[in-house]
Amino acid sequence: MKGVILHGGHGTRLRPLTHTGPKQLIPVANKPISQYVLEDLKNVGVTEVAIIVGGIMPEKVRDYYGDGSKFGVRVTYVDQDRPGGIAHAVGLTQKFVGDSPFIVYLGDNLLKGGISDIAKEFETKKVDAMVLLCKVEHPQQFGVAEFDKQGNLLRLVEKPKEPPSNFALTGIYFFTPMIFKMIKKLKPSWRGELEITEAIQLLLEEGYRVGYRIVEGWWKDTGTVEDILEANILVLDEMEPLMETEVDGVCLQGRVSIGKNAQVKKGAMIRGPTVIGANAVIESEVYIGPYTSIGEGTHVKRGEVENSIIMENCTIEIDTKIIDSIVGAASEIATNQKGPKGHKLIVGENSKIIL
């Protein structure tokens, strides 16, 4: 099988973080979200991956993944010159896919446990498509599945006002090349996009076999700041601690990972689950609380950080606490006077804030 990762979209709900790069490169537990996707594909034996890039700094995607060799795969880039929908993006990969079955994986999706078992089932059942479903509280925000009385997949509908069930389509699909035939029959929806739900619905209506699996663990569509922070919690909760640097005189509580050449000074307190990236510096008297990711090369000189993502090469020097926040790469946050006990921040790259 081959793999297709969708790496486009404007990420409007994540601005200003997405003014300077695609949302799929935002790190969760110090790793870009789409890297989890790439690694999941590799783990099921996929060695050829197409990454579909859009108009938000696609060069950053190319710079990070290169030809794929450092990740153990071969990467081909496909440009989507306009946001035409998932089906439009998939249709651009027909030449890359050829006659192979393939997996489409939205680059901002995270799935507990990965797709290994589902990939095996797809190959065994010999279906023309397989979709992953997850029970959600607000199905109106997703493509939704409808079943008959026997539990067979009957219909898929995109963002319905009156959902036929609580089972939403995740951003992970298994296809044979037959899907391209359906995509060519599509017309733009009311959103002006080619909907993948409609393409799969055509498969059903024309008598092709479409299977489904219900996600047993957690699934996160990281489309908002709150989603990303929750994903950071979920990933850190399951991460095994890894100490690549020795620290003395530091109070470590719970599961803490510290990267190569990081410095955590005596008197600092780190409470896990937390990850501190390579070459980061945590000074004395600093408190890093649970569910925090400190990026590579970041320097926390003073203050407290909890339940937050601080990206690489930032400087934090505050007399207060940062909570429930995402701070973009190469940003500086400092205080010049005593402020309130906490600040909630969403900060884009190369920013400077004086609190």
331: nearest Cα among 344, 308, 313, 318: 313
Average pLDDT over every residue of 219-246? 88
What are the start and end residues of each CATH 2.160.10.10 domain in the chain?
240-354
290 or 244, greater pLDDT: 290
Contact 6, 52 (CB under 8 A): yes
Statement: residue 275 has pLDDT above 70: yes
Where are the domain boundaries for CATH 3.90.550.10 in the chain? Answer: 2-235
Residue 241 sits at φ, ψ, to 5 deg, of -65, 140
Beta-bridge partner residues of 168: 134, 144
- The band of 100, judged by pLDDT with boundaries at 50, 70 and 90, is very high
Fold (CATH) for 240-354: UDP N-Acetylglucosamine Acyltransferase; domain 1 (2.160.10)
Which pair of structure tokens corresponds to residue 298? 């970041």
Between residues 338 and 188, the one the model is more confident about: 188
For residue 233, pLDDT over 70 is answered with yes
Give whole-number Cα distances, 157 to 142, 197, 198, 200, in Å: 9, 6, 7, 10
Q: Which two tokens stand for residue 32?
A: 């870009």
Please state which CATH class domain 2-235 belongs to. Answer: alpha beta
354: pLDDT strictly greater than 80: no
Average pLDDT over residues 154-180: 91
pTM, 2 dp: 0.89
What's the pLDDT band for 198 if we cut at 50, 70, 90? very high
Q: What mean pLDDT is reported for the chain?
A: 89
pLDDT at 82: 82
For residues 101-123, give the mean pLDDT: 91
Confidence class for position 16, pLDDT limits 50, 70, 90: low
CA distance 50 to 161: 34
The pLDDT of 62-83, averaged and rounded, is: 93
CA 113 – CA 44 distance, rounded (Å): 12
Residue 340 — very low, low, confident or very high, per pLDDT cuts 50/70/90? low
Other Cβ atoms less than 10 A from the Cβ of 178: the count is 16
Size of the chain in residues = 355
Going by C-alpha positions, the residue among 233, 218, 253, 281 that lies closest to residue 29 is 233
Q: What are phi and psi of 70, to 5 degrees?
A: -70, -10
> 10 — phi, psi (to 5°)?
-90, -20
pLDDT, position 338: 58
Angle in degrees, 0-180, between the axes of helices 33-43 and 225-238, rounded to the nearest 10: 50
Judged by DSSP in three states, 311 sits in coil
Mean pLDDT of 137-161: 87
Region 169-192 average pLDDT: 92
- pLDDT-derived band at 261 (thresholds 50, 70, 90) equals very high
* pLDDT above 60 (res 339): no
Q: Above 60 in pLDDT, residue 20?
A: yes
Predicted pLDDT at 12: 64
The answer to whether the beta carbons of residues 89 and 6 sit under 8 Å apart is: yes
- Over residues 218-235, the mean pLDDT reads 88
Query: Residue 10: what pLDDT?
Result: 64
Query: In the chain, what's the furthest Cα-to-Cα distance?
Result: 69
Q: Residue 306's pLDDT is what?
A: 96
> How many CB atoms are located within 10 Å of the residue 261 CB?
14
pLDDT value at residue 44: 93
